[in-house]
Amino acid sequence: MPILPSKSRLAHIVFEHDDKASKNFDLAILILILGSLIVVILDSEPSIYRDYHRELLILEWVFTGLFTVEYGLRIWLSKRKWGYIFSFYGLVDLLAIVPTFLSLILAGTQFLVVIRALRLLRVVRILKLGRYMKEAEVLKSALKASKLKIQLFLGTVVTIVLIAGTLMFIVEGPESGYTSIGMSMYWAIVTLTTVGFGDITPLTPLGKFLASVIMLLGYAIIAVPTGIVTSELAIANTKSKKKQGKTCKNCESKGLDLDAAFCKYCGKEI
């Protein structure tokens, strides 16, 4: 009979990632998540459902059981139990097991377990792949800096969508499939984003002309979010590179500009 690890040892395995046992635990969780995602995707395929639903259902309950045990373990081992439960990862861990239990009452909810994909975030974070972390940091800081600009931009897009949608609704009308302003706004989004499903298309010459203007507009404004992210990314890149800047020998300030002749903090010549 194997000797059970002590509670503190178990907590180390679950929460830390610095020795063999804890790394294996992380890896096992990673494989379980990927496995359970594959089970859900396969189970939704009609031909596979017909032949293997029973087997997949069993597997699904095995995965859910293991995740439930893991969730219980995490609560039990946490020092600040409520802190964990209401943390982002705590909620994701809970949401990853709820849908299966819910499917006993409500049909169709079992597919919601794909929320488990979010648990991959934790694993990625855990792996602390140095290289990725640095790159992710640059991306994150660029997106954060772009946030306000992108909100403004989305606001403008929504206003354009509202006006373009209404105009198309008036010009084309229900006969062409523009059955309501909501429907027309859906069409305007499909068009402005250059997705262009083609499920609804203008049929009248005036509608086609208006659609052409909307498309050219979309073509022109698609440039804006790209421009925003790019210029912020360039800045973030530069900042990340600045960390390799000059160092003052006097006050030991780091990250001084490469063209600086004097330290901007203490005024000594570099």
Site for a second copy in 171-190 (CB under 8 A): 174, 179-183, 185-186, 189-190
Whole-angstrom distance, CA of residue 141 vs CA of residue 165: 35
Q: Which of 71, 89, 224, 239 binds a second copy (CB under 8 A)?
A: 224
φ, ψ (nearest 5 deg) of residue 249: -75, -25
Query: Taking the complex as a whole, how short is the minimal distance between the CB of residue 77 and a second copy, in angstroms?
Result: 27
By CB under 8 A, is residue 232 in contact with a second copy? Answer: yes
The residue range among 10-18, 26-34, 73-81, 231-239 that interacts with a second copy, by the rule CB under 8 A, is 231-239
Interface positions, 39-78, toward a second copy (CB under 8 A): 40-41, 44-46
Beta-carbon contacts of 259 under 8 Å, excluding residues fewer than 6 positions away, are none
> Which residue in the set 135, 206, 247, 249 belongs to the binding site for a second copy (CB under 8 A)?
135
Site stretch for a second copy (CB under 8 A), options 51-59, 72-80, 86-94, 256-264: 256-264
Length of the chain: 270
User: How many residues line the site for a second copy (CB under 8 A)?
Assistant: 96
Confirm or reject binding of residue 91 to a second copy (CB under 8 A).
no
Quick check: 197 binds a second copy (CB under 8 A)? yes
Q: Closest CB to a second copy among 194 and 247?
A: 194
Give the pair of three-digit tokens for residue 121: 């975030």
Binding of a second copy by 105 (CB under 8 A) = no
- Residue from 87, 212, 244, 247 binding a second copy (CB under 8 A): 212
Question: Could you give the CA distance from residue 19 to residue 9 in angstroms, rounded to a whole number?
Answer: 11
User: Cα separation of 77 and 7, whole Å?
Assistant: 7
What residues between 141 and 170 interact with a second copy by CB under 8 A?
142-143, 148-155, 157, 159, 162-163, 166, 169-170
CA nearest neighbour of 93 among 119, 62, 125, 111: 119
Q: Is 118 in the site for a second copy (CB under 8 A)?
A: yes
The answer to whether 269 contacts a second copy (rule: CB under 8 A) is yes
> Considering the rule CB under 8 A, would residue 123 count as an interface residue with a second copy?
no
Q: Any contact of residue 108 with a second copy (CB under 8 A)? A: yes
- DSSP codes joined into one string, 143-165: HHHHHHHHHHHHHHHHHHHHHHH
CA angle in degrees (0–180, nearest 5) for 234-236-242 = 105
Q: Rounded to the nearest whole angstrom, what is the least distance from the CB of residue 101 to a second copy in the complex?
A: 17
CB distance 224 to 153 below 8 Å: yes
Among 8, 104, 128, 226, binds a second copy (CB under 8 A): 226
> In a 10 Å sphere around its CB, with 0-12 CB exposed, 13-18 middle and 19+ buried, how is residue 191 labelled?
buried
206 sits near a second copy (criterion: CB under 8 A): no
